[in-house]
């Protein structure tokens, strides 16, 4: 019995301590979310509840953290601007676990959130987003790049370009720039994101008429690429084409340069991370990366975002943060469209996003509920991403 009490006491204490920063759950009652006016003049009394299911811990934890920063910065900006509509952001962690993803989505649907952002990973998206679709809650995916995300239903939108939208441009630009004829492709085949990236690379290379001398696979956890690189070097390629996550990109690029491979390395979305230059240093020079977000863009939105993010978090944002930040711009526009935070009104608003200026550039949402905006092909020069031209 004594043990029972000990356990119960410890558990209760842990929960009570942590409950101090408890906040009321979002969700306005009927009618509160319908405002007056329209567009820029729209004014809604209650804050519009926005739920975000992100992978803050677990395998995809680094992406989720970046997304949370982007979202929190965007919500702070929108609320500080005091333009009649405010937002209450509730970020939940799916722990990179489908069970948590599903449960969190269910919580948002039952909890009255007007719109749900996330989840971080495409696989979790297929497991969790249908719950919002069935519950009639609009979802704005901010990092899902897999095919078929928005085909799940008319409540599912995204502001993340698919690999199919970015990679063909990257391959075309690199082929033209370097006159590629013969390449070696490397990818991690046990990750949904990098595998689908590889498919697009393979198709694009074929379309451009580039020969693939060899295709090498590795595992997402791998950090030693020397044997694979030796094999690749034996093919004497014009470039290495790699679909891998940032965790693989850094050692791979470093080891390739150490092994004397100085041909261009063309990476997928996983390479699109300032960490690459920070950790790989000089080895990252000459890496070509297609991106949905042009970090070097000098649009007013982007310039302001870069400065504010650096100011708040002490480092440069990555594309995940930028897409998260843009999501709030898009949602704000959608809410103002009917001047209502009701779920179907937000859905309607998202269907009418057209040429909205965001940190990603001028963004539209097409009839398939996929985002359309310009992608950018970048090259690492002097430790920074520059536009490849």
Partner 1 sequence: MLGDSTLVFIAIGAIFAFSFYAVLVAGQLSLGQAGFAAIAAFGSVTLGPSPDQVGDLPALGIAIVIGMLLGAAASVVLGLPTMRLRGVFLAIATLAFAEAVRILIVNSESLGGAGGLAVPKVVTPAIAWVALAVVAYWFWRQGPSRYGRALAAIREDELAARAMGIDVGRHRLQAFITSGAVAGLYGVLWAYFVRLIAPEDFDFAAAIDGLVTAVVGGSTLFIGPVLGSGFLTMVPEVQRAVGIEAGWLRPVLSGVLLLVVILFLPGGLASFIPRRLRMPASTESETHGTLTTRTHPRPGDQVVRLHGVTKEYAGVHALRGVDLEISGGEIIGLIGPNGAGKTTLVNLISGLVPSSSGEVEVLGTRPGRTPVHRVAAAGVSRTFQHSKLFGRLSALENVLVGAHLVSRPTFGRRLLWLPSARRDERQALAHAARCLQRVGLGEKARVPAAALSYGDQRRLEIARALAADPSLLILDEPAAGMNQPEADSLSDLIGSLADDGLTILLIEHNVGMVMRTCSRILVLDFGELIATGSPAEIVDNPAVIEAYLGSAPDEERSR
Binding site for partner 1 (CB under 8 A): 3-4, 6-7, 10-11, 14-16, 18-19, 21-23, 54, 56-57, 65, 91-93, 95, 98-100, 102-104, 106-107, 110, 122-123, 126-127, 130-131, 146, 189-192, 194-196
Residue 362: CB minimum distance to partner 1, A: 31
Q: Which residue has the tokens 């002097």?
A: 382
387 by Cβ neighbours in 10 Å (0-12 / 13-18 / 19+) ranks as middle
Main-chain phi, psi angles of 55, to 5 degrees: -85, 90
Residue 171: CB minimum distance to partner 1, A: 21
Q: Strand 87-93 and strand 115-117: pairing?
A: unpaired
Distance between terminal CA atoms of the chain?
73
For residue 162, the SS3 value is coil
Spatial separation of the C-alpha atoms in residues 181 and 234, rounded to whole Å: 16
Nearer to partner 1, 112 or 383 (CB): 112
Nearer to partner 1, 91 or 166 (CB): 91
Nearer to partner 1, 6 or 364 (CB): 6
Are 384 and 272 contacting, i.e. CB atoms less than 8 angstroms apart?
no
- Measured CA distances, 164 to 82, 121, 202, 221 (Å): 38, 17, 11, 25
Q: What is the DSSP string of 324-339?
A: HHHHHHHHHHHHHHHT
- The alpha-helical segments, DSSP class H, found in the chain are 2-18, 61-81, 98-111, 122-135, 163-178, 192-208, 226-233, 246-258, 275-280, 300-313, 319-338, 343-351
Nearer to partner 1, 37 or 227 (CB): 227
Residue 198: CB minimum distance to partner 1, A: 10
Are 35 and 42 contacting, i.e. CB atoms less than 8 angstroms apart?
yes
Residue 123: CB minimum distance to partner 1, A: 5
Residue 193: CB minimum distance to partner 1, A: 8
Residue 359: CB minimum distance to partner 1, A: 24
Nearer to partner 1, 217 or 351 (CB): 217
Nearer to partner 1, 137 or 288 (CB): 137
Residue 106: CB minimum distance to partner 1, A: 4
Nearer to partner 1, 194 or 340 (CB): 194
Nearer to partner 1, 104 or 210 (CB): 104
- Measured CA distances, 192 to 93, 122, 123, 312 (Å): 20, 8, 7, 33
CA-wise closest residue to 146 among 367, 356, 372, 370: 370
Spatial separation of the C-alpha atoms in residues 74 and 272, rounded to whole Å: 21
Residue 312: CB minimum distance to partner 1, A: 17
Number of Cβ within a 10 Å radius of residue 17: 9
Residue 125: CB minimum distance to partner 1, A: 9
Nearer to partner 1, 191 or 301 (CB): 191
């Amino acid at each position: 019995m004594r043990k029972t009490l000990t356990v119960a006491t410890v558990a209760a204490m842990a929960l009570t301590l942590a409950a101090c920063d408890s906040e009321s759950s979002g969700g306005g009652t009927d009618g509160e979310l319908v405002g007056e006016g329209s567009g820029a003049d729209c004014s809604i009394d209650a804050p519009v509840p926005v739920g975000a299911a992100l992978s803050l811990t677990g395998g995809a934890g680094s992406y989720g953290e970046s997304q949370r920063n982007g979202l929190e910065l965007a919500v702070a900006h929108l609320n500080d601007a005091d333009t009649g509509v405010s937002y209450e952001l509730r970020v939940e962690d799916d722990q990179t676990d489908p069970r948590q993803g599903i449960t969190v989505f269910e919580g948002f649907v039952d909890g009255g959130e007007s719109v749900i952002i996330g989840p971080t990973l495409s696989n979790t998206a297929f497991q969790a987003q249908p719950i919002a679709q069935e519950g009639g809650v609009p979802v704005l995916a901010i990092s899902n790049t897999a095919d078929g995300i928005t085909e799940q239903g008319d409540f599912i939108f995204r502001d993340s370009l698919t690999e199919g939208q970015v990679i063909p441009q990257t391959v075309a630009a690199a082929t033209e720039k370097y006159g590629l004829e013969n390449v070696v492709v490397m990818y991690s085949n046990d990750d949904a994101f990098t595998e689908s990236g590889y498919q697009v690379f393979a198709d694009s290379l074929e379309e451009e008429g580039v020969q693939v001398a060899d295709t090498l696979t590795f595992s997402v956890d791998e950090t030693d690429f020397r044997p694979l690189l030796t094999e690749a070097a034996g093919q004497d390629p014009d470039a290495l084409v790699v679909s891998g996550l940032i965790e693989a990109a850094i050692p791979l690029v470093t080891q390739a340069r150490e092994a004397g491979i100085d041909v261009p390395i063309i990476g997928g979305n996983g390479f699109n991370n300032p960490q690459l230059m920070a950790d790989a240093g000089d080895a990252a020079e000459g890496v070509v990366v297609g991106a949905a977000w042009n970090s070097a863009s000098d649009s007013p939105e982007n310039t302001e975002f870069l400065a504010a993010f650096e100011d708040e978090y002490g480092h440069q944002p990555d594309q995940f943060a930028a897409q998260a930040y843009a999501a709030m711009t898009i949602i704000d526009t959608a809410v103002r469209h009917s001047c209502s935070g009701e779920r179907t009104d937000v859905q309607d608003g998202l269907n009418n996003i057209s040429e909205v200026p965001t940190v990603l550039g001028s963004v539209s949402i097409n009839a398939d509920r996929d985002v359309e905006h310009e992608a950018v092909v970048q090259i690492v020069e002097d430790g920074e991403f520059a536009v490849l031209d």
